[in-house]
Each structure stands twice: as structure tokens, then as C-alpha cells.
């Protein structure tokens, strides 16, 4: 029996669907609000579909509620990096782009490429992720306001308001940090995993919380995790003339890369495992940014290693041996 395919092109207010059933294509637009999700179920039932394979792009956060709804309904859900769909469109020589054509393309991708199935993170991980990403936003806002103040403001009234705004953001950041700590303390599993991560020199409690909020503990291998983070090496060799320097792909979770940059720099000074690794790269005359990127990769592998082994960091033990490479 053939599996029905549902391609979804998602946006903030609405989403277009393309349903493939027994060689036929059915299309429709729905509102992207939770109270209207049942309309999609009724439409699927109208076409005799009780369960289907669903594919959608990871567009901002607009996909999350619908993906969880369909997963709980019993559908097989795949959430795809939009870059994969763009490149797939190029491979098909697609010349036009509309929301409905995108839904058709995503359905075709799903039927031919057999994408990996997605599972929603647990409620405590979702809450932690929301808290950590809000902390990122507050720190970004603080940096903007601080820059305005340091650049000089001619108006004393404006300067006073900016300082008050800065003080308010500082209060919000401190309150949010306490809320993050309380959330972790209330969840023994998260607390145990955080303690394992902070045993790695270079990773502090906020970095550990950030790594957990991006659900790195759900990965089975360092290879899939580093690819998800965009920390896998990207080669550019072809024939005898093209010899590009290997670099990080950066096709993946930017939140993870941002969270690991300064911890990697810190680990280069204080983590014995990273130090030895770093020195080997220096002896090979690698560029400084290349070394930092490689240390970010190594630190992420060590993080998954301690989480999978359940053992604190030991510089004499290769943590990644407990994962499938």
C-alpha cells in the first residue's frame, strides 16, 4: 500500500499543502493557528487519508506547533533545513516560485528523498530552549543599548533613558538566569546532564544549559551532531586545479555554534585534551580561526561523549569512543 505524502510550505499566518494520494495531487491553504489545525485533519479524512508522511521546512518557529500537532496525531513528520529544499529546487531546474509550487516541491522531495523522521523535544527541553533563546535576545538588546551609550549621546534626557533601559535589561537578565537555574533544579535529568557537561574544562553552567536546550543529548553519534551544528568540515577539491582550504560548513544550528565559540577559546587554555589537540594543529601551521573551529568541533564531541557515557570528563579517557562515529 502506498503512503500518502503531505508537503507543507509554512508561513507565519498560513500554510499551503500539497497532498499526494494514489498518483493524484490535492492542494489547499490553511490558517497557521492551533485552533484551526483540525481543519487540516477533516480535509485529509475527506480524501481518505488517516495517516501520512509529512514534510515541512524549519522556517523560523512557524512550523513548531503544527509539527507537534501532526506528530501527536500519529503522522510521520520530517522537518527539513530550507537549504536542502532550495538545492533540490535547483536540481529540478525549477524556474518559478510560489507558495503552492513550494508545497508541491516539498511533497516531491519527501516522496523521493526519504527524509529523516523528526521527534519533538520533551516539554522541559522546550521550556529550557525558550528561556535560553530569550536570554540571547536580552543580551543582544543590552549590547545595542550599551553601544549607543558608549558612542556618546548629546541629549542628557536621552542618555538618562538609555541608562534606565540598560539597568532594566540587566535586571531582566539576572532574573532570567535565576529562572533558568530553578527550571534545571526542578528537573533531575537536566540537572544530572548539566553536571556532566560542566565537568569539561571550558564549559560553564550557562553554556551547558544552552547545549541541553538545543537537545544535543538526543543525538546518537558525533557525526550527526556536528553536522547538525554546522561544525563538520567542508571540502572543496575537484580535478587538478580546484584545491580549496577545508572550512566549517556552517550549514546547521547557528545557536550551537554561537554557544561554543568562547568556551572553545577558553578550553584552548584550560582543557588538557583541547590543548593537546590545539598544539597539534598549530604545529601543522593551521590558521587561528581554523584551530578555533576545530576546537569547537572537539568540544561538542566531548560534550556528547560525557552525556552518552554518563561519566564526568576525564582527560585520560576518549569520551567520544562511546558514540558511533
Same domain, 13 and 94: yes
For the chain, the domain total comes to 3
Which are the contacts of 287, defined by CB distance < 8 A and separation ≥ 6? none
Distance in angstroms (rounded) separating the CA atoms of residues 106 and 89: 9
247: β partners:
234
Asked whether residue 206 carries a pLDDT value surpassing 70, the answer given is yes
Same domain, 139 and 102: no
- Is 193 within the bounds of a domain? no
Same domain, 296 and 271: yes
Residue 318 pLDDT: 52
Same domain, 226 and 167: no
- Is 133 within the bounds of a domain? yes
Residue 317 pLDDT: 66
Same domain, 78 and 159: no
Same domain, 71 and 104: yes
Same domain, 272 and 217: yes
3-state secondary structure 81-133: CHHHHHHHHHHCCCCCCCHHHHHHHHHHHHHHHCCCCCCCCCHHHHHHHHHHH
Same domain, 258 and 175: no
- Is 105 within the bounds of a domain? yes
Q: Beta strands 24-31 and 53-57: pairing type? A: unpaired
Q: Comparing C-alpha atoms, which of 204, 211, 284, 291 is closest to residue 247?
A: 291
- Over residues 302-320, mean pLDDT: 83
Q: Give the domain range for residue 175.
A: 128-186
- Over residues 162-183, mean pLDDT: 96
More confidently predicted of 118 and 235: 118
Distance in angstroms (rounded) separating the CA atoms of residues 69 and 75: 9
- Is 66 within the bounds of a domain? yes
Same domain, 318 and 211: yes
Q: What mean pLDDT value characterizes the chain?
A: 89
Q: What is the pLDDT of residues 143-163, one digit of tens each?
A: 999 999 988 888 999 999 999
Same domain, 168 and 63: no
- Is 156 within the bounds of a domain? yes
Q: What is the pLDDT of residues 213-272, one digit of tens each?
A: 999 999 989 998 998 888 876 544 445 554 556 667 677 788 999 999 999 999 999 999
- Over residues 92-111, mean pLDDT: 90
Distance in angstroms (rounded) separating the CA atoms of residues 325 and 322: 9
More confidently predicted of 250 and 110: 110
Amino acid at each position: 500500500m502506498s503512503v500518502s505524502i503531505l508537503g507543507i510550505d509554512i508561513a507565519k499566518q498560513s500554510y499551503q499543502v500539497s497532498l499526494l494520494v494514489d498518483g493524484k495531487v490535492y492542494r489547499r491553504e490553511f490558517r497557521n493557528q492551533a485552533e484551526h489545525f483540525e481543519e487540516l485533519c477533516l480535509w485529509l479524512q475527506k480524501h481518505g487519508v488517516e495517516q501520512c508522511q509529512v514534510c515541512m521546512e524549519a522556517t523560523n518557529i512557524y512550523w513548531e506547533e503544527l509539527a507537534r500537532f501532526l506528530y501527536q496525531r500519529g503522522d510521520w513528520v520530517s522537518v527539513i533545513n530550507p537549504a536542502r529544499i532550495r538545492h533540490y529546487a535547483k536540481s529540478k531546474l525549477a524556474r518559478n516560485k510560489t507558495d503552492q509550487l513550494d508545497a508541491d516541491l516539498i511533497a516531491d522531495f519527501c516522496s523521493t528523498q526519504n527524509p529523516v523522521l523528526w521527534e519533538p523535544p520533551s516539554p522541559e527541553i522546550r521550556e529550557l530552549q525558550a528561556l535560553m533563546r530569550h536570554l540571547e535576545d536580552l543580551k543582544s538588546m543590552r549590547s545595542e543599548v550599551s553601544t549607543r551609550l558608549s558612542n556618546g549621546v548629546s541629549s542628557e534626557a536621552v542618555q538618562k533613558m538609555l541608562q534606565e533601559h540598560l539597568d532594566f535589561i540587566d535586571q531582566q537578565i539576572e532574573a532570567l538566569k535565576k529562572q533558568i537555574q530553578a527550571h534545571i533544579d526542578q528537573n533531575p535529568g537536566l540537572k544530572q546532564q548539566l553536571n556532566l557537561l560542566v565537568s569539561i574544562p571550558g564549559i560553564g553552567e550557562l553554556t551547558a544549559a544552552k547545549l541541553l536546550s538545543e537537545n544535543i543529548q538526543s543525538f546518537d553519534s558525533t557525526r550527526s551532531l556536528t553536522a547538525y551544528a554546522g561544525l563538520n568540515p567542508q571540502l572543496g577539491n575537484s580535478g587538478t586545479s580546484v584545491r580549496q582550504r577545508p572550512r566549517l560548513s556552517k550549514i546547521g544550528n547557528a545557536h550551537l555554534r554561537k554557544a561554543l565559540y568562547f568556551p572553545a577559546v577558553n578550553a584552548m587554555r584550560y582543557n588538557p585534551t583541547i590543548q593537546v589537540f590545539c598544539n597539534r594543529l598549530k604545529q601543522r601551521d593551521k590558521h587561528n580561526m581554523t584551530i578555533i573551529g576545530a576546537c569547537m568541533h572537539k568540544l561538542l564531541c566531548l560534550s556528547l561523549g560525557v552525556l552518552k557515557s554518563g561519566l564526568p570528563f576525564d582527560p585520560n579517557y576518549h569520551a567520544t569512543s562511546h558514540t558511533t562515529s
